[in-house]
Structure 1
Amino acid sequence: MRKRLILSVTLFFAIAVQAIATVEGAEKPNIILFFVDDFGARDLSCYGSSFYDTPNMDRLAAEGMRFSDAYSAYPRCVPSRQGLLSGKYPCRIENESIQSGRHEHHLPLGDVTFGEALKDFGYQTCYIGKWHLGHEGGDPGKQGFDTIVHSGSAGATGSFFHPFSVEKGHSVENPIDSSDGDYLVDRMTDKAVEYVQANKGDPFLMVMAHYAVHTPIEAPDDVTQKYSKKLRKAGVAVGGKRDDADFVIDRQGMTKTIQNNPTYAAMIEKTDDSLGRIMRAVTVAGIEDNTIIILTSDHGGLSTRGLENRRGVATTNAPLRQGKGSIFEGGTRVPLIVKWPGNVAVGTTSSVQVTGTDHYPTMLEMAGAPLRPEQHVDGRSYLRALHGETYQRDAMFWYKWQARPDSTGDTRALSLVEGNFKLIHWIDEDFTELFDLSSDIGEQTNLAGNMPERADAMLKRLLATEQSIGDLREKGRKELQRRLGKRKTDPVGN
């Protein structure tokens, strides 16, 4: 009798321990970060596009929360990813690399990514797609990701069609197999669906980092033709050409003003299809109620080119000003949608400001993992916003020490956003602008002369932030001179 009692008690505690472990495991939500390349804040129907069809992204917004004031950490690919993965402003990463004397990779191996942090907390981790932060030895596998699929060091795929060529001097880790007619977006999605099914029993983090909708602008012809017909039916000229009539001169660049590129629209549709397939895979796997899906992008859409540049561009971010490469809102604003069943009210919109460094601490809090404030020093969790709170985030800072006036028509600048007000200090032109984003989202009216006290106070804080992180002006000037092939003259003609 005593033995049976001991056995019963032992069995009871064993079952209880297993139940607790199961509950604890269930409390760790799966996290899918759907990260789109060169995808503007107006490239989705739910953000105002009447041309692009994004039914799955729209459904994600209807089932979750859409952020109206989300930003990237930087309006270019590499620095934006530095901020996303590290939780640090890109200028901080750059200065730390200078101080350490180590520049092997764009993202130093000493930085602990959110992939490493969640792996340490018991997550399976997967990275699919564009990396752009390091060559061999600096790939996602060295930064906390167990599974890597077609993760390239280059900024773009050579082609979206088989055999997915690679730029000279770059590499792709664990390249995807393909055959004639295969489209990279589809093949990457195949692997994502397989990963969800294979790992449905354990908490996982999956970063789906699409090469789309970055150049080359390529898509299946049948989908492209759908949008060409849509344009003709609406009486709108088919765009995407170097001589599109809707270009307007905007300072140092030319900016597109109409969404009428049918191939780009087809790329967006294929990327939207990818999200839909992943959402269906999550449902089929029976883990929808315990899976978070975050959709965002690395910066605004490619809408601006240099005055002497004759290439066609992809889209317009209007009414936001300019696009990729620019410190104006068209370059830095991005879509952000979060679905988290049981935690985020469906069909809601948040006006809380979020920037690219903020995803790191937010994902840790979502998972219940310990924060790493010494790492994500420039990130601010937006978990409170996801729970429905409205509050003012502290000031957001951008240090755009790089410029490509010949390519995307942009020059160097520093910027500070405090609430509704945005200050830009143009480095080479040496002047300051102040905008009230609540009434001037297109940044057309400079208020610096009308509000000198606010402009001066914000400029003082902006310059103090620059000095506290580190001065990159001389480095940026030299890089720009090398880019433009000049050595002695002012690179912007001043």
Structure 2
Amino acid sequence: MTRHLLPVLALFASGVAATCAAAGKPNVVFFLVDDLGYMDIRAYNPNSFYETPHCDRIAAAGMRFTDGYAANPVCSPTRYSIMTGRHPSRPDATNFFSGRRGGLFQPAPLHDRMDLEEHTLAEAFKDAGYATCFAGKWHLGPTPEFWPTKQGFDVNIGGHSRGMPRSFFSPYHNPRLPDGPKGEHLADRLASDSVRFIDSNKGKPFFLYLSFYSVHTPLQGKRELVAKYRAKADTLPSPDEKPEFGSEEQVWQPKGRKASPRRVRIRQRHAVYGAMMESMDTAVGRILDALDRNKLASNTIVVFMSDNGGLSTSEGSPTSNLPLRGGKGWLYEGGIREPYMIAAPGLTRPGSVCAHPVTSTDFYPTLLELAGLPPRPLQHLDGHSLVPLLRDPSAKLARKSLHWHYPHYSNQGGFPGGAIRQGDYKLIERFEDGRVHLYNLEKDLGEKVDLANSDPARVQSMRRDLHSWYEKVDAKFLQPKPGGPMPWRP
């Protein structure tokens, strides 16, 4: 038992925490929100159009990471990284399906499942005697043998192959979620079933992973909440006075096909998205209230994150990530920088903030250490325990770089590429032709000023480190089309 856990264990032993069957084992609640943007919740953006008082409770109770990242700019690979502590490039899980958009080259091979050989975070908790429950979006396997109950979860509420619901209102047509009363909202249902799991397992340690389908498309909100946010939008400057959309860089189109101008949302005022945000936030509040009601809050670690950036460049472009550039499907900050919060009672100082860069692979070793469980270094190869940062946000991790690798054409317009962050600097590399961009995020969070030509030595050094990492994880790259040219290679 490390010295870092002494404050936590002292709290658990004090009698303040609820009684656990195994003394000293904290509960864990992990909230993962689908397609939530960095600027969507008020803990990160006090001027957000959306109202998120319950998500903000987590920030108030624990630590908010300003530089928290997803391992990938789209959903399933990031989910893989959370569950395994490994970068999705290692198992070639950089995308689960090719989507509707093509490109000049063929994408790298797809990988549509989380391999059963992985010892998942849920399996680690189950091995330690935890009751384990998954609720919501899984999207880590095409068939039932890869779904939650085969990956360490005792209970599966709604997790299956699809990455989006057929409807956010019952009937759901979900093979792992019986329909509720007609018109029941999916976020409400997931919250109700999750609360029942908490109530039924309050006498023993549990791991609840509530992975919302919200706020992914289809864009569907409760009628009364849509009306509320429409009225709120009417109080803002009209689109004629202040534009809602700006231009985004255009992407390659097949010869002879006219390119549709791609736009990016630059103002938050989408009423349906606002309604979906509030329903998700209310569901978070119901879980937190259940912990309070059962006197479990002081013995429960709460984690909150999004799987990728907000959807700002396609499919209705419902939210804005400004000042971040891009969104879901892009390697710019808007596609990979996420709300990232951890509340660990007795360890994290309420309302604390940490600016050290962290990523989604870090949850696995962090939660094991917080729970007093042995590390699994051969499993969570790419994760670092954040316990030192949770104790002292000015501490440093023994990690020089964060890396990204996305050799695909995203539906949202993003280009195939890789990226590396070292300190305040971030380098992006395009896989079609090898072009690079360099940004100083401290001075230029919106990635508007490309420093690649003015700092060639840094470009060379960072690029060398990125290519070394590609080799380490056996990264795959774009492939030529039949009879077509060869893509660039590192």
Q: TM-score category by the smaller chain?
A: 0.7 to 0.9
TM-score, normalising length from structure 2?
A: 0.86
Correspondence for 1:153 = 161
- Give the aligned residue type for 1:303: S
Q: Distance in 2 between matches of 1:266 and 1:112?
A: 37
Tell me the SS of whatever aligns to 1:357: helix
Give, in angstroms, the shift of residue 46 of structure 1: 1.4
Give, in angstroms, the shift of residue 95 of structure 1: 7.6
Give, in angstroms, the shift of residue 352 of structure 1: 1.6
Question: Aligned Cα RMSD in Å?
Answer: 2.3
Q: Distance in 2 between matches of 1:23 and 1:228?
A: 46
Q: Structure 1 stretches of 5 or more lacking a match?
A: 1-21, 167-171, 239-243, 306-310
1:460-490: CA deviation from partner (whole Å, max 9, x where unpaired): 010111012114114xx36xx6xxxx87378
Correspondence for 1:87 = 85
1:419–1:158 Cα change, 3 Å: same
Give, in angstroms, the shift of residue 269 of structure 1: 0.5
Correspondence for 2:209 = 207
Correspondence for 2:345 = 341
1:248 equivalent to 2:247? Answer yes
Give, in angstroms, the shift of residue 159 of structure 1: 0.6
Q: Contact between 1:63 and 1:346, CA under 8 Å: does it hold in 2?
A: yes
- Give the aligned residue type for 2:40: D
The answer to which structure has the higher helix fraction is 1
1:128-149: CA deviation from partner (whole Å, max 9, x where unpaired): 1111001211011111111111
Correspondence for 1:66 = 64
Tell me the SS of whatever aligns to 1:473: coil
1:104–1:353 Cα change, 3 Å: closer
Question: Structure 1 residue aligned with 2:220, among 210, 218, 227?
Answer: 218
1:173-196: CA deviation from partner (whole Å, max 9, x where unpaired): 3x1331111011100100011111
Correspondence for 1:296 = 305
Q: Distance in 1 between matches of 2:304 and 2:228?
A: 25
1:410-489 equivalence runs, <5 A: 410-474=414-478, 477=479, 488=484
1:278–1:456 Cα change, 3 Å: same
1:92-123: CA deviation from partner (whole Å, max 9, x where unpaired): 021899xxxx9985110001100001111111
Give, in angstroms, the shift of residue 381 of structure 1: 1.1
Q: Distance in 1 between matches of 2:466 and 2:144?
A: 37
Give, in angstroms, the shift of residue 429 of structure 1: 3.1
1:104–1:250 Cα change, 3 Å: closer
Correspondence for 1:192 = 194
Q: Structure 2 stretches of 5 or more lacking a match?
A: 1-18, 96-108, 252-261
Q: Distance in 2 between matches of 1:236 and 1:53?
A: 20
Q: Distance in 2 between matches of 1:468 and 1:50?
A: 40
Correspondence for 1:115 = 122
Q: Distance in 1 between matches of 2:149 and 2:431?
A: 38
1:24-39 equivalence runs, <5 A: 25-39=22-36
Correspondence for 2:255 = none
1:372 equivalent to 2:376? Answer yes
Q: Contact between 2:20 and 2:203, CA under 8 Å: does it hold in 1?
A: no
Q: Distance in 2 between matches of 1:95 and 1:204?
A: 28
Correspondence for 1:283 = 292
**Matched residue count:** 442
Give, in angstroms, the shift of residue 235 of structure 1: 2.9
Q: Contact between 2:78 and 2:307, CA under 8 Å: does it hold in 1?
A: yes
Give, in angstroms, the shift of residue 386 of structure 1: 0.9
Larger radius of gyration: 1
1:47-66 equivalence runs, <5 A: 47-48=44-45, 49-66=47-64
1:189-245: CA deviation from partner (whole Å, max 9, x where unpaired): 00011111110110000000000000001010100111110111123349xxxxx85
Q: Distance in 2 between matches of 1:251 and 1:437?
A: 23
Correspondence for 1:263 = 272
Q: Distance in 2 between matches of 1:249 and 1:29?
A: 46
1:137 equivalent to 2:145? Answer yes
Correspondence for 1:165 = 173
1:103–1:118 Cα change, 3 Å: farther
1:44 equivalent to 2:41? Answer yes
Q: Contact between 2:354 and 2:389, CA under 8 Å: does it hold in 1?
A: yes
Q: Distance in 1 between matches of 2:90 and 2:127?
A: 24
1:224–1:186 Cα change, 3 Å: same
Correspondence for 1:398 = 404
1:285-323: CA deviation from partner (whole Å, max 9, x where unpaired): 111110111111101011113xxxxx4211111100000
Q: Distance in 2 between matches of 1:164 and 1:291?
A: 31
Q: Contact between 2:94 and 2:110, CA under 8 Å: does it hold in 1?
A: no
Give, in angstroms, the shift of residue 152 of structure 1: 1.9
Q: Contact between 2:32 and 2:305, CA under 8 Å: does it hold in 1?
A: yes
1:336-395: CA deviation from partner (whole Å, max 9, x where unpaired): 122222211011111121101111111101111110000100111111111124234421
Larger relative CO (CA 8 A, sep 6+): 1 or 2?
A: 2
1:410-447: CA deviation from partner (whole Å, max 9, x where unpaired): 11111111111111111113211111111110011111
Q: Distance in 2 between matches of 1:463 and 1:340?
A: 36
- Give the aligned residue type for 1:108: D
- Give the aligned residue type for 2:161: S
- Give the aligned residue type for 1:250: E
